[in-house]
Amino acid sequence: MPVTAPSLATAQQPGIASHAGGKDALAQRVILLLDRLSRLTRELQFAGGLNPAQWEALRFIAQANKYSRSPTALAEYLGATKGTVSQTLIALENKGLITRCKKTCDRRQVDLCLTDAGQAMLARDPMQTLEQASLEIADELGAEMVKGLTRLLHDLQARHQVVEFGVCQECSLFCVNSGNGSLDGADGACGSTGEAIDAVEKSKICINYKTVS
Ligand code: SF4
């Protein structure tokens, strides 16, 4: 489906931009822009023979840490039912993009992994268009945009009691390696499991993440 980039600076909808000035107008403007962006990014993800849910699942598996690469965690992350996620995973398996392995520490648990074909598919992720556009405004607005969007997301997740995924370096349970223990050069340890966390795992998203209050 051809995608036409919305003119975000001028896009308007009846009844939304009619409150000129003030916080109400700003809030309505944010709603409109997020709605337009989400529609556009959804359309972009009908690509490479995949649908948006399948692309999201591939991205999640690539970014999730060892505690989170499971069908249950994926369902939480997507806000989808286990049945819907199961269909998505079956489709990705049939295309040879992912595998389900048993975890070595607990054979009852499933570990989702990308295959080489899955890695190659992700290298052609249609969301790279958005990444390129973000890079162009990063110097000017990057830090402020990330701060504002992060706060908005956390606020909505808290209101709707959605599981907050996050990374070790921002987690209240992460214990930095002070060099006195037996962490063998790891960056730190998870305060929940006691396991060492290396630099790669530290930047991956986790279902057990706890925000710093
Ligand atoms: S420190 Fe937090 S984010 Fe990291 S593995 Fe532990 S619970 Fe997850």
Is the pLDDT at 177 greater than 50? The verdict is yes
pLDDT score recorded for residue 180: 63
Domain ranges, ordered by start, for the chain: 52-122, 166-206
Instruction: Determine the average pLDDT of the residues in 140-155.
Output: 85
Distance 179 CA to ligand 1 centre (A): 19
Among the residues of 115-202, which ranges form H helices?
116-122, 128-159, 199-202
The residue with greater pLDDT, 114 or 185, is: 114
Q: What contacts 187, CB < 8 A, 6 or more positions away? A: 168, 176, 177, 197, 198, 199, 202
Residue nearest to atom 5 of ligand 1 (CA): 190
> Which of 171, 176, 195, 198 maximizes ligand 1 atoms within 8 Å of its Cβ, making it the mutation to test the pocket?
171
The residue with greater pLDDT, 144 or 76, is: 76
Residue nearest to atom 4 of ligand 1 (CA): 168
Residue nearest to atom 6 of ligand 1 (CA): 190
Is the pLDDT at 160 greater than 90? The verdict is no
- What is the pTM assigned to this prediction? 0.81
Tell which CATH classification among 3.30.930.10, 1.10.10.10, 3.40.50.10480, 1.20.1050.10 matches the domain 52-122.
1.10.10.10
Is the pLDDT at 12 greater than 70? The verdict is no
Residues 19-72: tens digit of each pLDDT:
456 888 888 998 999 999 999 999 999 999 999 999 999 999 999 999 999 999
